[in-house]
Structure 1
């Protein structure tokens, strides 16, 4: 039988043999890599078209590192051209990715083209998979301390020599060797008594609070001093054994995880002793031991004089499904403070005189929108501004004109600070088309609809519609 491999976008022949399917899979992967390489090239070209007006308008990443203060980090390393911050949004919108992902794409493209040219050439010729090259670019962009162009070039030569075939662990060692070879760290004999150069401090404790598991858990990772790590391990082992002695039937891993929570709530551990018969429970006058704030939303109905909650709800933190049983378990923990707020009708038309937005209207808007309403943005609404979709005119009342942008629910939307600035200072524009539904138009005429279910591109590829006057 003669086998014909389908081209991109065509149906696959159901009669293909195993060898035919493998050949088609190989071709599809090659096409995917070619498209990814082309996308890197296009991202770099897009950056070339949009240099910033000044260094203060260059695109950066914002992180919380630095003694609790937000710090800005460049999207590509020293020697790469800077990029106008607002141009990133339109590229991300067309690609259907977030602003952070778009910055990362452009940053990787510039890093590869300007600081890792050997790897860039291999990617564009098909010798190295783009995802491998981007992994290297990510490491050289965010190395601590920062890599000079010469140091990045040395990494480029080492990686290109093996056609990009390095794993994360090898890459970490290579970057560390580069820092040492080029003496990039400040000389501090106490940090490294052998040579006084390499002083990278890997310690950290990071909670990935944007990745909430459906089971109601978050991922915590940390690198500690050896002594601290051993102390923590002993405490968790002891806490797990204590919970088992008190009757817990959970797995060892679950008991160790719970013991880690007890470290943050030392009084809760004391209550466990009392529940096990070690003493009277006379601590009801003590303050709540748990201070974590979670916002859970459940549908409720009245059954006579009782309120009946639905079995599933939504947790604002992480936008995840939540089970009522999970909430009951959390509330059953020692001295957990629970606050039940009145129901807010999301369909009610609330309004206020003047420009300032009262708390009751702001809360309604944040609950309705859930996240920033810019296309593809997922920043939680509680970390957003409440924006007047139609700008509030502060001179309208004094000049006897009707207010074009009143402070009413339909004219308000949740926008993160970046997209709020984008809407204020660029040609981006959006309109309200329904409760919690918005239509955005980019400077080049691409349109998207954003509603509680997500983002939908409205224009066929390559056929943008002009912005409405």
Structure 2
């Protein structure tokens, strides 16, 4: 049946002429823009349903760890009850961070950029353009007042949202000056005494890892700092060449930048690397400690250990090549710690509530990330949660412990989702080692395992008259939506 539908679709596409095909593409884009605009409106309505007053814990004081008001847009936008963000994210199949950004953009546009908001819903400005503007006005430093945001809104709306990043930055800088939002400082800005928007930044795109194991870095620095850095990289690249490197200038400059990050330069190696005196080795500057957790499959052949060509690096959940690991470990100042293999098929337990390191490592390796639907925070930085709550009085009162410290009752949860599970109606259970089934306050269910997150049967709509037809049970062989990697 599916093959017949696909064949029909292909036949229909072949039947269209060039003009009709272009018209269909344009219609599909218009429908996509309309759906994105509607999603923004619905996200704002979701926020309306969850003001801070909707928090069921005491509203007159703050309880440590409980839900609190969440300001997610600029001054003048309504606050939102923090934990409502997670359920929206799971329904959309995205992270809580992405859901928070969606709600924040919707509120920023509706309350502080109303002209742009109206143009989005009139179909004159695509939602993605408006969201790009909202992202800038939300995170402007110093913060834009409602009046300042209204000025940006009027300027952007006048050109129907067609404004690039550089133009938008200049517009925000002008707005900050126009509305006197920064402290006058003639030394910083001698032209008119106002602090301009500071464009300096260093961004490492560690989510976009090349197959060769490299990442892209971009930066904007002071002119003097840039010239100094250029000179330092040129000097170290030349030193590496003098030491016998046959690599290209670009590669040597990249390696020199890594040397600077570790406070170990090629000159250090040249001056101290050819001596066995321990006092010279100690004279080298102390490098900043960077801990990487690498996992490489290995097999034993007699007395020889054979490593596979690829492995996994926990940091960023990325591919690791064996020759890279050898290069890192070949540095004379690298400390290598080899931990014993943990058999994830062997259950582990401990008396009491405290979780020993051997069990924590087991959970970290088994779960890899926070086990909340679509969350990708690395497990090594997460809390280890008792799935069934540990009863601290059970042993003293002679009752069976409902929540033992056992690998079958433990899971990795980031701090936000740990609090969510503790203080809201979200609950989950472990159906198999490393496999979890979550249920949201509104009855949505999700399965989370090492392969990602699968949305299970949705709840019936309320009122019952709007309930959708019964759905077939989920196909175990159906493709899964992978969890985002961090």
Q: TM-score, normalised by structure 2?
A: 0.86
Cα distance between partner residues in 1 of 2:166 and 2:124: 22
Distance verdict in 2 for CA 1:258–1:59, change over 3 Å: farther
List alignment gaps of at least 5 residues for structure 2.
1-7, 54-58, 462-466, 471-486
Cα distance between partner residues in 2 of 1:294 and 1:318: 10
Structure-1 residue corresponding to 2:32: 32
Distance verdict in 2 for CA 1:293–1:374, change over 3 Å: same
Helix, strand or coil for the counterpart of 1:45?
A: helix
Helix, strand or coil for the counterpart of 2:448?
A: strand
Question: Which of 170-179 and 262-271 deviates more?
Answer: 262-271
Q: CA RMSD in A?
A: 2.3
Instruction: After TM superposition, list the pairs within 5 Å mapping 1:327-346 onto structure 2.
Output: 327-346=325-344
**Among 89, 98, 101, which residue is 1:101 paired with?**
98
The 8 Å contact of residues 79 and 149 in structure 1, kept in 2 or not, is answered as yes
1:197 and 2:156 correspond? no
Shift, 1:462, TM fit:
6.2
Q: TM-score, normalised by structure 1?
A: 0.89
The 8 Å contact of residues 214 and 320 in structure 1, kept in 2 or not, is answered as no
Helix, strand or coil for the counterpart of 2:45?
A: helix
Distance verdict in 2 for CA 1:144–1:290, change over 3 Å: closer
Shift, 1:59, TM fit:
5.5
Structure-2 residue corresponding to 1:361: 359
1:9-67 CA-to-partner distances (Å, cap 9, x unmatched) read x935242333332222111111111110000000000000000135965554xxxxxxx
Question: Which of 158-167 and 339-348 deviates more?
Answer: 339-348
Distance verdict in 2 for CA 1:154–1:290, change over 3 Å: closer
Structure-2 residue corresponding to 1:115: 112
Cα distance between partner residues in 1 of 2:211 and 2:357: 30
The 8 Å contact of residues 176 and 182 in structure 2, kept in 1 or not, is answered as yes
Structure-1 residue corresponding to 2:226: 229
Structure-2 residue corresponding to 1:326: 324
1:449 and 2:482 correspond? no
Structure-2 residue corresponding to 1:168: 165
Distance verdict in 2 for CA 1:281–1:22, change over 3 Å: farther
Structure-1 residue corresponding to 2:256: 259
Distance verdict in 2 for CA 1:225–1:251, change over 3 Å: same
The 8 Å contact of residues 173 and 196 in structure 2, kept in 1 or not, is answered as no
Shift, 1:173, TM fit:
0.6
Distance verdict in 2 for CA 1:24–1:299, change over 3 Å: same
1:329-355 CA-to-partner distances (Å, cap 9, x unmatched) read 111223222111110111210000000
The 8 Å contact of residues 236 and 267 in structure 2, kept in 1 or not, is answered as no
Structure-2 residue corresponding to 1:64: none
Cα distance between partner residues in 1 of 2:228 and 2:204: 20
Helix, strand or coil for the counterpart of 1:413?
A: strand
1:20 and 2:17 correspond? no
Structure-1 residue corresponding to 2:422: 424
The 8 Å contact of residues 256 and 265 in structure 2, kept in 1 or not, is answered as no
The 8 Å contact of residues 274 and 281 in structure 1, kept in 2 or not, is answered as no
Structure-1 residue corresponding to 2:373: 375
Shift, 1:210, TM fit:
4.8
Question: Which of 402-411 and 189-198 deviates more?
Answer: 189-198
1:44 and 2:44 correspond? yes
Structure-2 residue corresponding to 1:71: none
The 8 Å contact of residues 51 and 83 in structure 1, kept in 2 or not, is answered as yes
Shift, 1:321, TM fit:
1.1
Instruction: After TM superposition, list the pairs within 5 Å mapping 1:17-416 onto structure 2.
Output: 17-53=17-53, 57-58=67-68, 60=70, 74-273=71-270, 280=275, 282=277, 285-286=281-282, 289=287, 291-416=289-414
The number of equivalent residue pairs is 442
Distance verdict in 2 for CA 1:133–1:333, change over 3 Å: same
Helix, strand or coil for the counterpart of 1:313?
A: strand
Cα distance between partner residues in 1 of 2:130 and 2:349: 53
Structure-1 residue corresponding to 2:475: none
1:434 and 2:447 correspond? no
Helix, strand or coil for the counterpart of 1:11?
A: helix
Cα distance between partner residues in 1 of 2:166 and 2:209: 26
Distance verdict in 2 for CA 1:129–1:48, change over 3 Å: same
